[in-house]
């Protein structure tokens, strides 16, 4: 009886860790691509931030790009995942409130 329950437990643990890894990879890709895109097209990002009225658009663009890139990388490698996840969650909410308010715009 205990053999069957330990086998079932091992299968569940394996599936759980695989699911967590897959979730971390998929979540990190979103932030990595977004951060990389902002940092490689910094003038366009700064122009967009300037149009939003954000202060010091170039510096803000670099900071936002670094938060997304480094946060995505931290999630991917498993570094301080709970803290980074909270930081990225708060960052995402703030981004939604500041930069993505045009619900009629299909690019939002």
Contact between 26 and 71 under an 8 Å Cβ cutoff? The reply is no
Q: What are phi and psi of 101, to 5 degrees?
A: -100, -10
Amino acid 11: pLDDT? 57
SS3 56: coil
> What are the tens digits of pLDDT across the range 55-86?
999 999 999 999 999 999 999 999 999 999 99
> What are the tens digits of pLDDT across the range 3-55?
554 445 555 666 788 898 899 999 999 999 999 999 999 999 999 999 888 89
**In the predicted structure, residue 91 carries a pLDDT above the cut 90:** yes
Amino acid 10: pLDDT? 57
Amino acid 15: pLDDT? 72
Global model pTM greater than 0.85: no
């Amino acid at each position: 009886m205990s053999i069957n329950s330990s086998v079932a437990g091992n299968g569940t643990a394996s599936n759980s860790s695989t699911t967590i890894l897959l979730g971390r990879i998929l979540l990190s890709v979103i932030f990595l691509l977004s951060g990389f895109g902002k940092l490689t097209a910094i003038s366009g990002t700064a122009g967009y931030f300037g149009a939003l009225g954000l202060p010091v658009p170039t510096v803000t663009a670099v900071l936002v790009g670094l938060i997304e890139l480094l946060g995505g990388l931290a999630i991917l490698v498993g570094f301080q995942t709970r803290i980074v996840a909270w930081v990225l969650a708060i960052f995402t909410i703030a981004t939604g409130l500041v930069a993505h308010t045009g619900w009629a715009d299909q690019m939002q």
